[in-house]
Chains A and B, each alone.
Chain A
């Protein structure tokens, strides 16, 4: 293996200086540094394993179809399920996806492809999205309480309110990550399309968006899996109340799985805490499925330019 061959490989880990060896002291530092990094990644991986193990070992016993076939009971954990929460989660997530995906991708396309950065309003939007990404989720709950559920929109404590709030909450995630994906498409592809006579919109629709699609899909799935686990803003718009029915429309009262888990964790009865673990497990299974799809999409379609 010659040095030239080694350097031609494009991945960072494969780049190894082969001409001569480092001095001994440097090599010691290098080894120590690598050990510290190993410890860091170890902490992360170990936490994940312990957490999954703990949830599975505590929740497996009561992880039965009862969870999604029976409604919650306030007194009897043996008969209690989370049917209303499971269906509430599906309803709310559907509304969130229907709002957040088109708006988020549209905003990302506008900001990356059409916004002239010398216009004050475009700079304002950009600054705004960055800042919104850091706004705590509970503040969105306050917005929902004062503005959507009550106040000007006055929709009430219903599925639609929850969907709107979660969509607004994940919108910055969708926008920022989609922008990254769009930005990663090399400008030569745009120039090529434009040189062949395509309009800017045609270039975006037929060249840039397809090329950025794996990244955008990953962004959307990750944003939705953030939405599915949110409890705090929904507590403010009434999801923590006792709901023994499934939603039958956008104007129906609702609860969601994370809020159901929260109610069960707070219970002094150990049986309810075990149910909380089972519901956690259910939530994790759904999330693992979503993440699996995201990973698959990314690994299958992502390329480095």
Chain B
């Protein structure tokens, strides 16, 4: 390093040049600090490696006992019974049904709420309402589970329109409550994205004679699309990965059906309930936890990769 400093100073004594615009000395403390900050950021990569390293060996082990095809296309899921059956489709169906129920609530209402907050609400009202909504997403999922099972499920049973009334445990009440839980995430993130659209764009549209609905749907929403899509994708992965609500309210029976009135077990609920039992380490049942976990991880990871590609393509940058 001394040679570099020497060559920098070689044209002449530094003090003759006065207080120059080049820095006077190298700041090693700065480099150490930046190195520390880099390590903080690198922990995320270590986390991912840790997740993969904990899932892959046990999953490969599991596929030594059970065929991949049998696992992915089997329609009978009873891994902890004798004889065990390892067809994963019933719990995939459970995840699918509860997720669709949740999205049916959170996407339309969440986006509507976001547009209203961003484009219509009086600033003072928005300053009160937005944090109030964020309280909704901060409510612990066990509380939602309790609410779904004890409050919504009886209502769903009573108002069921066609056929037999569903049981106490049903995918619909779990899914709807899950949608309410995710709604503020969609609303808040979308509103953030819309709020960052420059006011000048709206003013331009108004000056050209657009109505408020037109400004909202043709200027603000398209300009904030990347953020809005990101919020939708986050909503989907929250719904797929949500555990406690479905564990408490959707029932514990694997069920290959698309009727939301039936009791179902999701992938997450299976992992949680299997981990509660005393599964001997190394048994095929124990490894099932990791196989299902790997499936969940791959599904959400793939979804996020696709979404970040979409976001990059449509992102508008304003400075």
Chain A residues proximal to chain B, CB less than 8 Å: 7, 10-17, 22, 26-27, 29-30, 33-34, 36-41, 43-45, 47-48, 50-51, 54-55, 58, 102-107, 109-111, 114-115, 121, 124-125, 127-143, 145-147, 150-151, 168, 171-172, 175, 180, 187, 199-201, 222, 225-226, 228-232, 235-236, 240, 258-259, 261-262, 265-266, 273, 276-277, 280, 283-284, 287-288, 290-291, 294-295, 298-299
Question: Which residue in B133, B207, B217, B308 is a CB contact (below 8 Å) of A44?
Answer: B133
Stretch from B70-78, B84-92, B144-152, B158-166 contacting the other chain:
B144-152
Question: Would you call A137 and B143 a contact (CB within 8 A)?
Answer: no
Over the window 285-319 of chain B, the binary record of Cβ atoms lying under 8 Å from chain A Cβ atoms (1 yes, 0 no) is 00001100100110011011100100000000001
A121-B140 Cα distance, complex, nearest whole Å: 35
B241 to A41, Cβ gap below 8 A?
no
Number of B positions contacting A (CB below 8 A): 106
B120-A34 in contact (CB<8A): yes
Is there an interface contact between B199 and A135, defined as CB atoms closer than 8 Å?
no
Write the nearest CB–CB distance from A107 to chain B, whole angstroms. 4
Complex Cα gap A128–B33 (Å):
22
Which chain A positions have C-beta within 8 A of B206? 15-17
Question: In chain B, what residue has the closest Cβ to A168?
Answer: B47
Shortest beta-carbon contacts, A-B, top 10:
A136-B241, A229-B140, A40-B112, A106-B40, A146-B54, A232-B243, A110-B37, A37-B116, A134-B237, A107-B41
Q: Indicate if the CB atoms of A236 and B127 lie closer than 8 Å.
A: no
Q: Are B40 and A102 in touch, CB under 8 angstroms?
A: yes
Partner among A55, A175, A187, A231 whose Cβ is within 8 Å of the Cβ of B44: A175
Contact B241–A139 (Cβ < 8 Å): yes
Q: Is there contact, CB below 8 Å, between B45 and A48?
A: no
Instruction: A111 to B121: give the CA distance in the assembly, Å.
Output: 34
Which residues of B approach A to under 8 Å, CB–CB? 23, 27, 30, 33-34, 36-45, 47-48, 50-51, 53-55, 58, 105, 108-113, 115-123, 126-127, 129, 131-136, 138-147, 149-151, 180, 183-184, 187, 192, 199, 202-203, 206-207, 209, 211-214, 216-217, 233-234, 237, 240-244, 247-248, 268, 271-272, 275-276, 281, 289-290, 293, 296-297, 300-301, 303-305, 308, 319
Number of A-B contacts (CB under 8 A): 313
Q: For the complex, what is the distance from the CA of A30 to the CA of B242, rounded to whole Å? A: 37
> For residue A54, which residues in chain B have a CB less than 8 angstroms away from its CB?
147, 150-151
Residues of B close to A13: CB separation below 8 A: 119-123, 126
